[in-house]
Amino acid sequence: MERDGSRHKAFTRRLALLGGGQLSLAALLMGRMYYLQVLESDQYKMLAEENRISMRLLAPPRGLVLDRFGQELASNRQNYRIVLIAEQTKGVAETLDRLAHIIPINSHQRNRVLREVKRKRPFVPIKVAENLTWEQFAHVNVQLPDLPGVQPDVGEGRYYPKGLETAHIVGYVSSVSEADLTGDPLLELPGFRIGKNGVEKIYDESLRGKAGNSRVEVNAYGRVIRELARQDGQSGDDVVLTIDTGLQEAIARRLADESAAAVVMDIHQGEILAMVSSPSYDPNAFNLGMSSKAWQNLAQHPRKPLINKAISGQYPPGSTFKMIVALAALEAGVAGPDHRVFCNGVIELGTSKFHCWRHRYGGHGWVDMKQAIAQSCDIYFYDLARRLGVDRIGDMALRFGLGEAFGIELTGEKDGLVPSKDWKLAVTGVPWQMGETLITGIGQAYLLATPLQLAVMTARLANGGMAVRPKLLRHQNSRKLDGDGARSAAGDGRDNAGGVRKFDADAQSMGVSAANLKFITDAMSEVVNGARGTARKYKLDKELNAQMAGKTGTAQVRRITKAERKAGGKLSKETPWQERDHALFTAFAPVGAPRYATAVVVEHGGSGIYAAALTKDIMTEVLRGDPMGRSALGVAGGGRGKERKT
């Protein structure tokens, strides 16, 4: 009996322990369930919701690029495209074959689609083609019953309505490369484009805008079931430039057959009204996708259409530099307006001879400073250079904007070069020679300038010695619309109409004698309007009731041999294009009340007189249109300005 009692007690004890363990386990499980379902319910509800709800970025509309009168230079237009969903096709290759009978699909596109099909989930849309014409897009829509898996789609793409004429200013957008990734999720969106050159690149972030988002419900595999909510992105800011599109187009047409650059600017405020580099390229090709062959044709073109020659081309200024040398002599007191030099066509320095361009005709005879500028006498400026020395010449050149990058709102701007004794010794280790000073006096030797710098130099001469700086940006404005759907305006945007002189607020006086500056600008007028000026054949037509002042320049690109000089055939038709002299002309107008300055450089154009002929046509267009005297977009947006009359 005792044994049975012991067994019963042991069994009861074990049963109690087992029951206690079960109760403890149940309590633990119930506690865990309470913790998960009550205390942590919000967190797990959020996690479950995140598995069901997907947040997707939406690319915002890119801001516009406008000219000073509101004409669109970079805009957005519908992008008709075709996508393919692999799981809905009977066979991707077969579907692509059928689609190729309707729209052009090359081998590169086909292979790309097939690669993406292997890499992506079968329900993910894959882009097949974009930037289709409306006719192509409509044809695909009609044939959809025979194209399972094919979906037409309408997006937004960049478009440049003035492509060739404004390419070097506006630039272009293109696909995002790995080097462009900065952590901005917008950059990782399929098909997103960013600015790669020009204004599009410089103001890319403000043009991009802010992304929107879409909340969509997805299943366990990530397939979209429905859209729950949508918030569109905020459009990028519009960028309004100082450019006059009508003037830009007119100059581009005039230079279409040249390898050349031209800049037109307001001499008081520094606004760039036109900046043309020829030949040009179509920026739309970069947005649409350029073939490697097309790229090679552009990159290897001998006249370099991809380079903005107005800011990146560096040329000896030739005789357009003579005003700076004359002004330096006047300011230093080494020569006055009445200083005379006899030109017989050649001078000697040691064993070297330095010629005037008129040496074959016995030179210019006796000339004073004004006639030396008007007739572009090299011997006169050899004399001034010898008296001044290269460093004093260089100091004056720097004051007038040569040898300096202005930080204009474009990529690729070059500094040019204003040489000095110290510069040469540091770079070459060889001391400066007097012969190099003489050549610098006529704008050659090591001296280099961009067309933009020459335009700024001319503007500072014409405006009375104010150090205006060039600018392309008028303003940026948000694309917030008023109740009528128009941009908000601030004032009429009139650009100092009536010829009132209003200088750039940042422009400082360079401290140059007003009398000396007037003498120089009078001499420039003599170049065009005088009886013996080198550009006298290209004075403005009487109907304009205005005169132009300017200076011709012919810059050698190689040393002329004695045989060529004797024969006078250095610019013969047999001379290869690359060996011909550059042609330059700088000008301002109207004489008496200057407002506009321009610089024209024609690569291997042969003679400054050739550039003068082009400049006459350009300045005629400028004065007829008078862009600074017409209403433009106001400083905070504004409506459309008056259309240009052509």
d(CA 202, CA 321) in angstroms, rounded, equals 32
Mean pLDDT comparison of 15-19, 348-352, 616-620, highest-scoring range: 616-620
Q: Is the peptide bond before 279 cis (omega within 30 degrees of 0)?
A: yes
What pTM, to 2 d.p., does this model score? 0.82
- Across 629-636, average pLDDT: 72
Query: Which is nearest to 481 in space by CA: 235, 201, 137?
Result: 235
Query: Which is nearest to 240 in space by CA: 271, 265, 209?
Result: 271
Say what the pLDDT of residue 468 is: 96
d(CA 553, CA 443) in angstroms, rounded, equals 9
Instruction: For residue 369, give both structure tokens.
Output: 């400073």
Say what the pLDDT of residue 18 is: 74
d(CA 438, CA 515) in angstroms, rounded, equals 26
Question: Over the stretch 476-507, which tens digit does the pLDDT of each residue have?
Answer: 876 543 333 334 433 344 454 444 455 666 77
Question: Over the stretch 287-318, which tens digit does the pLDDT of each residue have?
Answer: 776 777 888 899 899 999 999 999 999 999 99
d(CA 286, CA 66) in angstroms, rounded, equals 20
Question: Over the stretch 125-184, which tens digit does the pLDDT of each residue have?
Answer: 777 887 788 888 888 888 888 888 887 877 778 999 998 999 999 999 987 777 887 877
Please determine, for residue 21, whether its predicted confidence score (pLDDT) is greater than 80: no
Say what the pLDDT of residue 565 is: 53
The answer to whether domain 247-290+311-629 has CATH 3.40.50.150 is no
User: What helix, strand, coil percent values describe the chain, rounded to 5?
Assistant: 40, 20, 40
Which residues, listed in sequence order, are joined to residue 239 by a DSSP beta bridge?
Answer: 65, 476
- Across 571-600, average pLDDT: 89
Q: Position 248: which residue type?
A: Q
Q: Is 319 tagged catalytic?
A: yes
Question: In 525-580, which ranges are E strands?
Answer: 549-555
Exactly one of 235, 277, 319, 607 is catalytic; name it.
Answer: 319
Return the sign of the alpha-carbon dihedral for residues 220, 60, 159, 204. Answer: negative
* Residue range(s) in the chain whose domain bears CATH number 3.40.710.10: 247-290+311-629
